[in-house]
């Protein structure tokens, strides 16, 4: 018997023309995200490269933003250093406020709340993610800010000896602190959604085993649920960070944009790249608009980086589990 | 002799434990009131902080006496988790409450029938309205859906039907696309369309920007839904001699129809409240603009934003009402999507 006889018979078909067209169209549609992301990067770069060639790295490191003066015929100076630092300060503070609360809420929703309470509470939190950012801005300006000013004064009164809580000029409204509180409220539902998912997947039998060994609920959470969800929570946190970095309108309403780096978080002076774009857009000269596009490109790359990192962490986590 | 064994639940709280806990909460309340009365503390913030601190300390203390240190830790964490949950619910309820409360003043018939051509944004609230913004929002969202929905479903189909080599990359990029800041989407459309072939602000530019933000939501939800279509339905279609195209169009998509509608609605809820990209692309107007390719359009989020910037009481009243209408629309859409999705999985 020859070897050829035991070889499996190979069946080949060629796709019909209609299928070829179908697969072509679907593949093209599938590539939309790639095309759009590439186009965003290309267009913003092409329209703004004059800014990068003029100012180089100073565009990112310099703090002052002086528009062109049409009367004196002078060109302006554009740098987003202060805005970039301000964005990072408010976003990181928002993360610091939001993460513990979101973890607590997620743990409560998955393992502590009575069963009848879980569905409605989860719905409420998901609903929170659907509230438009302009509504958050409105609420932040009219409701949160009057209260937060008092909190700022309290913190300043008792902790003012710590440099970041000191206030050179005692004006407390529209500060990075208040902006980060609004951002925190906005990103809690995002982090909670992901933390809830990973906590709910924690192995039931391990938790039961912990109980059987006589551990309290918290000991079981600490030994099983929290380690199981750690990577997922980190990923969710970074998604929240991405959202906070790019938030525009809500921050615009509750933050006083000042073009110099300010580390006094209770002071009415802060920065946000996204809000600056909207703020300067209306009366910008044509070269200034290119500066805004350059700022947009920096923001785009920054959020892309954070999101890539988040995706990587979540993916590694799901592989490890 | 028969022995009947009654089921018991030894872990259940006995009346005595419940009474102790209730007494603990009451004691915390009493201590809070006493502290507020006899020390320098005052105000709601102090009351809340003191109550949480006292209640946590008392419940931890009770557990410590009863079952030791581990149990005290457990009680402490339980109190902290309850506090965290309350900390999230308070702003949410506060937002819903204030929007309804402040939005009522300017919620009059003329808000839904008039525009702002003859009345100014700062004028009395019984003149002028937001019909132009409401119509503009509907136009923009409809056009954006028309663009993003097919592309989003195609992306999802690539992941579930073609399953090509690029699947991982495309899933990854769709995820990355959902993180694009809305203001960047607006800047991109401004540079690529408004400054270029679009020749100025237009509704179409706004719809393009919104479509960029909507696509990832649609793609991700649609993928989840298409994954739920049983594999044997696809195989049955192919076994009957259907091409892949006929199988997808005749079996897969109809099976997932209500789920795909859910995906669309979630996408609409995602973009209906977007403000920043619209500032850069449609600019805003005071009257209805029926042309989507020519001249500025208004939209509800822009209306709220614009009125807020005017900075007078009547303008603020309008902004709140705009926010109320906007939030009502978004929440109705969201609830509808939830209801449809819940029906689908059953």
Task: Determine the pLDDT at residue A24.
Answer: 92
Where does a domain end: B64, B82, B103?
Answer: B103
- B309 and B227 within one domain: yes
Ranges of residues in chain B with a pLDDT under 50 are 345-346
- B144 and B33 within one domain: no
Hey, what long-range contacts does B232-237 have (CB within 8 A, 24 or more apart)? none
Task: Determine the pLDDT at residue B320.
Answer: 93
User: In this structure, how many other beta carbons lie within 10 angstroms of the beta carbon of residue A231?
Assistant: 19
Cβ-based neighbours of A169, under 8 Å, separated by 6 or more:
A267, A268
Structural domain count, chain A = 1
**Quick check: is A24 in a domain?**
no
- B286 and B168 within one domain: yes
CATH code, domain with B337: 1.10.3720.10
Query: Picking from A6-20, A64-78, A192-206, which range would have the lowest pLDDT averaged per residue?
Result: A64-78
Show residues of chain A in contact with B279, CB under 8 Å: 278, 281
**A132–B272 CB contact, under 8 Å:** yes
Q: What is the mean pLDDT of chain A?
A: 88
Task: Determine the pLDDT at residue A56.
Answer: 84
CB A234 within 8 A of CB A120: no
Task: Determine the pLDDT at residue B37.
Answer: 85
Structural domain count, chain B = 2
Residues B197-235: b if buried by 16+ CB within 10 A, e if exposed: ebeebbbbbbbbbbbbbbbbbbbbbbbbbbeebeeeebe
CATH code, domain with A178: 1.10.3720.10
**Quick check: is B8 in a domain?**
no
- B178 and B287 within one domain: yes
**Quick check: is A11 in a domain?**
no
**Quick check: is A285 in a domain?**
yes
Q: Is A158 on the interface with B (CB under 8 A)?
A: no
Phi, psi of A257 (to 5 degrees): -80, 125
Interface residue of A47, A130, A215, A239 to substitute, partner B, most B CBs within 10 Å: A130
Classify residue A78 by its DSSP letter.
E
The C-alpha of B2 sits at a distance from chain A's nearest C-alpha, in angstroms, of 31
**Quick check: is A304 in a domain?**
yes
Distance CA B3, CA A289 (A): 87
Closest residue of chain B to A23, computed from CA coordinates: B162
Closest residue of chain A to B326, computed from CA coordinates: A132
**B185–A40 CB contact, under 8 Å:** yes
| Model confidence pLDDT, tens digit, residues A140-158 | 999 999 999 999 998 999 9
Task: Determine the pLDDT at residue A3.
Answer: 57
**Quick check: is A10 in a domain?**
no
CA B31 to chain centre: 40
How do A77-78 and A65-66 pair as beta strands? antiparallel
Where does a domain end: B62, B78, B103?
Answer: B103
- B161 and B37 within one domain: no
As a whole number, mean pLDDT of residues A39-49 equals: 92
Segments in chain B forming alpha helices (H)? 15-38, 44-67, 69-103, 109-113, 131-157, 167-177, 182-189, 203-227, 231-239, 244-247, 253-255, 257-272, 276-281, 300-310, 313-345
Closest residue of chain A to B95, computed from CA coordinates: A139
Classify residue A9 by its DSSP letter.
P
Q: Is A194 on the interface with B (CB under 8 A)?
A: no
| Model confidence pLDDT, tens digit, residues A100-154 | 999 999 999 999 998 899 988 988 888 888 899 999 999 999 999 999 999 999 8
CB B194 within 8 A of CB B205: yes
Q: Is A130 on the interface with B (CB under 8 A)?
A: yes
Distance CA B38, CA B28 (A): 15
ipTM: 0.88
As a whole number, mean pLDDT of residues A17-34 equals: 91
User: In this structure, how many other beta carbons lie within 10 angstroms of the beta carbon of residue B147?
Assistant: 17
Of the pLDDT bands very low, low, confident and very high (cuts 50, 70, 90), residue A260 is confident
CB A130 within 8 A of CB B334: yes
Q: Is A263 on the interface with B (CB under 8 A)?
A: no
Task: Please check the confidence at residue A298 and state whether its pLDDT lies above 80.
Answer: yes
**A112–B180 CB contact, under 8 Å:** no
- B192 and B301 within one domain: yes
Task: Determine the pLDDT at residue B346.
Answer: 40
Closest residue of chain B to A141, computed from CA coordinates: B308
Host domain of residue B175: 113-345
**Quick check: is B10 in a domain?**
no
CA B224 to chain centre: 19
Task: Determine the pLDDT at residue A54.
Answer: 85
CB B55 within 8 A of CB B24: yes
**Quick check: is A59 in a domain?**
no
Helix (H) or strand (E) holding A65: strand A65-66
Distance CA A142, CA A149 (A): 12
Host domain of residue A228: 77-320
């Amino acid at each position: 018997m020859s070897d050829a006889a035991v070889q499996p018979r190979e069946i080949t078909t060629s796709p019909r023309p209609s299928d070829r067209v179908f697969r072509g169209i679907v593949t093209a549609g599938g590539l939309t995200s790639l095309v759009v992301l590439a186009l965003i990067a290309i267009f913003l770069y092409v329209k703004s490269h004059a800014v990068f060639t003029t100012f180089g790295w100073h565009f990112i490191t310099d703090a002052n933003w002086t528009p062109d003066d049409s009367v004196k015929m002078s060109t302006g100076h554009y740098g987003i250093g202060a805005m970039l630092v301000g964005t990072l300060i408010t976003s990181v503070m928002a993360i610091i406020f939001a993460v513990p609360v979101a973890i607590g809420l997620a743990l409560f929703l998955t393992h502590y709340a009575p069963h009848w309470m879980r569905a409605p509470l989860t719905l409420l939190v998901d609903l929170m993610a659907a509230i438009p950012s302009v509504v958050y801005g409105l609420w932040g300006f009219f409701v949160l800010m009057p209260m937060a000013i008092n909190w700022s004064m309290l913190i300043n009164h008792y902790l003012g000896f710590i440099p970041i809580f000191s206030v050179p000029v005692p004006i407390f409204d529209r500060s990075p602190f208040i902006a980060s509180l609004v951002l925190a409220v906005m990103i809690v539902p995002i982090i909670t959604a992901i933390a809830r998912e990973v906590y709910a997947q924690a192995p039931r039998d391990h938790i039961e085993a912990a109980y059987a060994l006589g551990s309290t609920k918290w000991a079981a959470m600490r030994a099983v649920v929290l380690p199981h969800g750690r990577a997922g929570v980190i990923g969710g946190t970074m998604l929240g960070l991405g959202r906070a970095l790019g938030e525009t309108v809500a921050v615009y309403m509750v933050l006083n944009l000042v073009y110099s780096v300010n580390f006094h978080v209770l002071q009415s002076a802060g920065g946000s790249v996204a809000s600056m774009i909207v703020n300067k857009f209306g009366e910008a000269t044509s070269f200034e608009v290119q500066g805004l596009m350059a700022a947009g490109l920096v923001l785009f790359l920054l959020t892309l980086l954070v999101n890539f990192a988040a995706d990587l962490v979540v993916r590694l986590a799901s592989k490890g589990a | 002799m028969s022995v009947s064994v009654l089921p018991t639940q030894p872990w259940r709280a006995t009346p005595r434990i419940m009474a102790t806990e209730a007494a603990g909460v009451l004691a915390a309340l009493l201590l809070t009131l006493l502290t507020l009365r006899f020390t320098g503390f005052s105000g709601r913030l102090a009351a809340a902080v003191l109550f949480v601190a006292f209640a946590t300390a008392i419940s931890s203390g009770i557990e410590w006496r009863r079952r030791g240190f581990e149990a005290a830790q457990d009680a402490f964490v339980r109190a902290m988790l309850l506090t965290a949950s309350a900390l999230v619910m308070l702003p949410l309820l506060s937002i819903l409450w204030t929007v309804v409360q402040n939005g009522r003043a300017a919620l009059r018939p003329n808000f839904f029938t008039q525009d702002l051509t003859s009345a100014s944004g700062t004028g009395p609230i019984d003149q002028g309205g937001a019909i132009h913004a409401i119509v503009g929002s509907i136009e923009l969202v409809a056009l954006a859906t028309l663009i993003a929905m097919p592309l989003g479903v195609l992306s999802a189909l690539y992941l579930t039907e073609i399953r090509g080599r690029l699947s991982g990359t495309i899933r990854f990029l769709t995820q990355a696309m959902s993180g694009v800041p809305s203001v960047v989407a607006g800047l991109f459309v401004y540079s690529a369309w408004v400054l270029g072939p679009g020749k100025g602000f237009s509704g179409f530019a706004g719809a393009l920007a919104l479509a960029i933000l909507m696509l990832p939501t649609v793609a991700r939800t649609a993928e989840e839904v298409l994954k739920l279509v049983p594999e044997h339905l696809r195989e049955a279609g192919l076994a009957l001699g259907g091409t892949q195209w006929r199988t997808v169009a005749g079996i897969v998509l109809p099976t997932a129809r209500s789920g795909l509608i859910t995906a669309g609605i979630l996408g609409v809820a995602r973009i209906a409240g977007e403000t920043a990209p619209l500032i850069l692309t449609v600019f805003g107007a005071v009257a209805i603009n029926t042309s989507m390719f020519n001249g500025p359009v208004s939209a509800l989020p822009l209306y709220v934003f614009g009125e807020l910037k005017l900075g007078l009481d009547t303008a603020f009243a309008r902004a709140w009402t705009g926010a109320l209408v906007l939030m009502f629309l978004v929440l109705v859409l969201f609830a509808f999507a939830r209801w449809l999705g819940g029906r689908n999985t059953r």
